[in-house]
Structure 1
Amino acid sequence: MKRVYLFDVDGTLWDSARVVTDSWNEVLKERRGSGTLTVDDMHSFMGHTMDEIAVRISPDADPEEQRDIMEACMRHEINYLESHSGYFYPGVLKTLRALHESGKELYIVSNCQEGYIESLLEAGNLSSGEDGVIRDFICYGETRRPKGENIELILERNDLSPEEAVYIGDTEMDQAAAAEAGVDFYHVRYGFGRVHGALRELDSLEELLED
């Protein structure tokens, strides 16, 4: 039985695509005169690092301008999320709290920027820290390392073994990161991607309560 659950964010815990799209378009409109990103565009970005997304939203810009625009989008996004929350998938908040109360250790590993996970925790009224619902979290913006390495890092700094952990996500990139870190992988069907060969397929996060 697994006692350690590590979660992806977008497509697994919540969907903030509409909110983030709106916030980025405000920046792009100010910078370029128009913001034309769609929610489908945002869904296609999910799972990629911010550096990879920077190239995709500004393909004709030089690298310095790409980084500058991306950083402006990320800063505005965090401020925007303070008053425009993402949408938590059904049962997610209840399940996270129930898992915590049952003694499971819960962590978050995401390719997002710093401040984004904190926005999710605040929106869901989820405590963090040693005694919190979410014991620890790590992101690409903090380490500039790929997700597989970040899974390894969070296990190491919390003195956990890969054998007792499972990573839960929605894309092939999540599955590959879990494999790189040597942890099992559960796939949530309701997210943004499809995978093959996951240890478990979940139609709802509430199914973890049966694990």
Structure 2
Amino acid sequence: MKYDSIILDIDGTLWNTTEIVAEAWNKAIEVSEYNVKTCTAEILKKEFGKPMDVIARDLWPSLTGSDQAKLLELCCKYEQEYLEKNENDITFPKVVNTIKELSSKIDFYIVSNCQCGYIELMMKKTGLTPYIKDFESFGATGKQKGDNIKLIIKRNNLKKPVYVGDTQGDCDACKASGVDFIFAEYGFGQVNSCTARISSFDQLSLIYR
């Protein structure tokens, strides 16, 4: 399996922000005008990987679409602040070193269903900015993950990319975009099919030779 590029998911693949994000979102809910249930890290693990508007509908079904969007915007504001202040290492084991080591042999990209600014924040906090060639998000394009994978492929003239993710949504996006899928089984979800699977991130070094 000789690939010319690796496209990465973030949450459940590179790091786990769910504890921090739950705390941030609950603070946003507390100061907001909306009477909705708070969330937990376990709830967010089931939601992360979905487009942001879908997460808002899942978490706050009693709100109108416009109110869901307003609350989500507030939650993301607090999330950004909490993640900026976080000093703990929340990356999965060997993620950063593996990307740095492999980047001399293969190019890395990121496609996530996150909001604008989240990928940039992750790269800054982990020191991975120099090692990621390009990235795309739902927040930037409003497109589904499969379409954003296609955008990255076209924009960078990729011939044989592979995507690494941890949910069925990632698997479906790979099928829609026609790329191979490596399942990070240490992450948040389960999948019904994959090209290969890894139990730790550094196993990418074995898959890509």
* TM-score relative to the length of structure 2: 0.93
Task: Name the counterpart of 1:108.
Answer: 110
Query: C-alpha root-mean-square deviation of aligned residues, in Å?
Result: 1.4
1:137 corresponds to which of 135, 138, 143: 135
> 5+ unaligned residues in a row in structure 2: which ranges?
none
CA separation in 2, counterparts of 1:134 and 1:13?
A: 13
Q: Does 1:186 align with 2:182?
A: yes
**Retained in 2: the 8 A contact 1:17–1:39?**
yes
Shift of 1:27: 0.4
Select the residue among 98, 103, 106 that pairs with 2:101.
98
Is contact 1:45-1:53 (8 Å) kept? Answer: yes
Partner of 1:208: 204
Structure 1 segment 171-182 matched on structure 2, within 5 A: 171-182=167-178
Partner of 1:88, secondary structure, is coil
Distance 1:200 1:113 in 2: 28
Q: Distance in 2 between matches of 1:192 and 1:11?
A: 5
Q: Secondary structure at the match of 1:167?
A: strand
Structure 1 range deviating more: 90-99 or 75-84: 75-84
- List per-residue Cα deviations over 1:127-178 (Å, max 9, x = no partner): 2xxxx300011000000000000000011111113xx100000011100101
Deviation at 1:110, TM superposition (A): 0.1
Query: 1: distance between equivalents of 2:118 and 2:72?
Result: 14
Percentage identity across paired residues of the two chains: 35
SS across alignment from 2:191: coil
Residue 148 of structure 2 is matched in structure 1 by 150
- In structure 2, the partner of 1:13 is 14
Identify which of 123, 137, 145 aligns with 1:121. 123
5+ residue gaps, structure 1: none
1:2 equivalent to 2:7? Answer no
Once residues 111 and 33 of structure 1 are traced to their aligned partners in structure 2, the CA distance between those partners, rounded to angstroms, is 26
Question: 1:9 is aligned with what amino acid?
Answer: I
CA distance in structure 2 between the aligned counterparts of 1:196 and 1:57, rounded to whole angstroms: 25
